[in-house]
Structure formats: structure tokens, C-alpha cells
Amino acid sequence: MDKYFKKLPQELREIIRQACWVSQKTRMPAYLVGGCLRDLILGVKNLDLDITIEGSGIIFSRHLAQKIRSKLIIHERFGTATLILSNNLKVDIATTRQERYPHFAALPEVKPGSLKEDLKRRDFTINAMALSLAADKSKKIIDPFGGQNDLVSGRIRVLHDLSFKDDPTRILRAVRFSQRFGFKIEPKTLLLLKEAIADGLLNKVNPHRMRDELILILKEQHPFRLIKALNHLGALSFISAQLKIDRATRGLFLSVAKEIAWFIKNFPARRQLDSWLIYFTVLLESLTLPQIKIIVNRLGLRKGEEKRMISYYQGRRKIIPVLSKKQVAPEKIFSLLEPLSYETIILLSATSQNKNFKKYLKDFFEIYNGMRLCISGHDLGGLGVLPGPEYQKIFAKVLAAKLNGQVRNRQTELALIKRLVYKT
């Protein structure tokens, strides 16, 4: 197994070494489990480690955090903990548990269990393996459901016949993993998946859980492929029965993908985009604004997320026509685009092919975005101007001059306000 560890970042290899040590000292068996073990075997990059403990994950995590001097977040209610390392690396630590579903699509009842029981509660064979972190060198993979075999054959397979009915979010997960790894959903699993969809179970899950899985879908590398596959299976009706996925949707997804890539390439220092939100907005394109608001509420999107989506629909009507004209003044471009989020602007850009509009957007990102004045009301007060509407007029003139490149710094801004105040 050590050959797999070689592919891990040095920092994670060190954590595994220390976790072996803590496991021995505390006499709590520790295992690497789930997606991180799957990716390790596949040789796929994964910056998260999932460790599960027979004993107490929380006690184990305290020992480990102390040993490696890392930040520790404990989720007392769930009996889990997260170690936060540098470079975006993260270690999740849990206690082995068993789960029982009181009825289909419900949240499971959880109680402590053995490793075997912990693996049995998982979604697919490829995610239901464990690697013992015992100090001896044997480090064998515990694979009760044939996960290694399915990894080699490229198969997504559930562990039992009721899996999708117990937890229908696994329907989205099955499609996600199958697309990500280019795996086939094994025939019987596909039958069970379709049966759960036909029974309407996706609509019985708490919508917030569905939202979380949908976001993961939209964060994948090729979200449209997944959307298409899910639509084909009839698995998107939990969003809306009116949802229409067609060639226009495909075109928009592709166009948005291009805009996102352009933005990331050209402005790497700006804040990270919520690309999933952009794709989600595009996904709902065929619906009316009131329908969209109902979906957004039901799925429990945050206020800020809703605002960014809605401002796109409004901006399409109000902003694109104005910025499609020739020779729009920089202050107009600034005043229309500066209040919008990057996500909204990218959406607007993806929906318009107008050359003028594209050019203004480029200018906005490259020159105007974030432009602020160096002077303040204090400077105007110093020149004897009394606070009131005159302030706003002068500031607007200075900002326009700055956007036009006529003033560049505090000194030239001060010179301009003097000229404006004394009308020289």
C-alpha cells in the first residue's frame, strides 16, 4: 500500500504516519476510508483524508491535533472532527458507526458500530473500503463488497437492493461518480436507481440535502454531461417539473464555461467564483422569475446567492441593451456593473454576443472594477464646501475623470476638486 502513499503530498503522508502512531498509543484502530482511499487506489488527486476510528474519533483527533500542532474543529453533535492543515489540506475524523433508515428517504438513525457496519452503511462498493493504519507493515485493504474489483472494472454498484430508496441522494451520487471516472452504473444498480426515481423518492428527501448534492454535481468538471444524464433518467424533477433541458441549455452551459475559464485565466487574483451558482442560474433559464424564486426558497439557497441570481434576470433586460450601444461613457459602464457580482456579470456576458458589450465588460474587469477615490468629504470640507448634494456632484465628476484616466492619484484628484470648487 505504501506505493499509493507516495502520490500523496508530503504533509498528508506525515499525517498518516502520525495517525498510525496515535492509533498504537491510544489502542484505537484507525482506518483510511471512503473517497480518499478510492482516489488513492485510482491515483487521483484528493486533498482530503477521511479517517475513521474504532473507539472515539473525537479523542483520537485531539491526540493527533496535538501531535501535529494543527487547528482542530470538533463537531460534538456528530462525533466527528476536522483537522485543518495548510495548503487547503483537510483531515476528517469520525467514529465507526452503523445507520438505520426508519423509512425511505428519511435521515438515518445513527449509533456506534464496528468497521464492518460502518462500511455497510456506505453508498457504493468503490467507497466502502478501508485501509488499516495499524503500525505493522501489512496495511491491507479491507474490502468486504468487492470495491477493488469494481474500481478495476469501472463499475458503480450499490451494496444492497434498498440503497437508493433508503437514501435517494445516492441517485445523484451514482451519476456523479460514473461521469467523473467514466464508470458504468452496473445493470442491477441502474435498475434499482430507475425504480427509486419512478417511485418518486427524490421528491421525498429534504430539499436541502438535494441542494447539497446538486451543488456537487454543478461543481464537477463537465456539469452539463451530468445534467443531461440526470435529465435522461428523469431525475431532475425534484428541482421543477417544468424544467426544460435542451440544445439552448447546452449552448448556455458551454458559453458560461468559456466565460468562467476566461475570468480565471485573466484575473487569478480576484475572489474565487461560485461557478456552481452560475450553472444553477443557467439551469433554470427556461423558468419564469416567480417559479425560480419558489425553487430557490425550497432548496434553501442563501440570500446572497438568490440576489446574485435575480440580478442576472433583471440585468439582462436593463443592462445588456444599454451596454450594447456604441460609445458608452466609462462612468455609465462603471455605475451599471460595479454593483453586480462577478457571477452575475459572467452570466450576462455568456448570454450576449454583442461586441460592444463584450468590450465594455473587458474594460470593466481590466480597468474600472474596484476603482475608488482617494479624496473624501474631509478634503471638500477643507475647501469650505458644506456637506450636502454638492459633495455627490463633485465626487461624481472626479470619479468620471478617474475612470477616463484624467486623474490617477490623490494629488491630481485634489487639484481637480480645487478647480471644481473655485471654478477655475
Site for ligand ATP, rule CB under 6 A: 34-35, 50, 122-123, 127, 167, 169-170
| Least distance CB 37 / ligand ATP (angstroms) | 8
Cβ closer to ligand ATP: 54 or 167?
167
Q: How far is CA 23 from CA 9, 114, 134, 136, 368, in A?
A: 21, 16, 7, 11, 56
What minimum distance in Å lies between the beta carbon of 38 and ligand ATP? 6
d(C-alpha 87, C-alpha 300), whole Å: 31
Give least dist CB 195 to ligand ATP, A: 17
Residue 398 CB, nearest distance to ligand ATP (Å)? 50
Q: In whole angstroms, what is the distance from residue 309 CA to residue 293 CA?
A: 10
Which residue has 426508519 as its cell numbers?
102
The CA distance from 115 to 104, in Å, is 24
**C-alpha cell at position 150:** 469494481
Residue 55 backbone class (left: φ over 0; alpha: ψ -120 to 50; beta: rest): left
Cα(206)–Cα(203) distance, rounded to whole angstroms? 8
Minimum Å distance from CB 218 to ligand ATP? 13
Closest-by-Cβ residue to ligand ATP is 35
What burial class does residue 178 get, using C-beta atoms within 10 Å of its C-beta: 0-12 exposed, 13-18 middle, 19+ buried?
buried
Using the minimum distance from each CB to ligand ATP, give the nearer residue, 203 or 286: 203
Nearest alpha-carbon partner for 85 in 30, 14, 165, 2:
14
Residue 410 CA, chain-centre distance (Å), reads 40
| Separation of alpha carbons 373 and 395, rounded Å | 8
- 197: cell is 426515481
Between 83 and 319, whose beta carbon lies closer to ligand ATP?
Answer: 83
**Eight-state DSSP code of residue 239:** T
In the structure grid, which three cell numbers stand for residue 263, read together? 475570468
Smallest distance, ligand ATP to C-beta of residue 128, A = 6
Interhelix angle 207-218/169-181, nearest 10 degrees: 10
Q: How far is the CB of 145 from ligand ATP (least distance, A)?
A: 11
Choose between 176 and 402: whose C-beta lies nearer to ligand ATP: 176
Which of 88, 392 has the CB closer to ligand ATP?
88
C-beta closer to ligand ATP: residue 34 or 330? 34
Between 50 and 259, name the residue whose CB sits nearer to ligand ATP. Answer: 50
**Cell 502513499 sits on residue:** 5
Shortest distance, CB of residue 3 to ligand ATP, whole angstroms? 21
Q: Which one, 163 or 344, has the nearer CB to ligand ATP?
A: 163
- Residue closer to ligand ATP by CB (options 213, 259) is 213
Three-state DSSP at 238 gives coil
Least separation in angstroms between residue 415's CB and ligand ATP is 56
Q: Which residue has the cell 448534492?
A: 213
Nearer to ligand ATP, 170 or 402 (CB): 170
Rank residues 167 and 305 by Cβ distance to ligand ATP and give the closer one. Answer: 167
Residue pair 381/417 in contact by the 8 Å Cβ criterion: no
CB of 34 to ligand ATP, least distance (A): 3
Q: Are 364 and 398 spatial neighbours (Cβ–Cβ below 8 Å)?
A: no
Whole-number Å distance between alpha carbons of 78 and 331: 52
List residues bridging with 94 in a β-sheet. Answer: 52
Q: How far is the CB of 325 from ligand ATP (least distance, A)?
A: 45
The rounded Cα 413 to chain-centroid distance in angstroms is 42
- C-alpha to C-alpha distance for 221 and 276, rounded to whole angstroms: 11
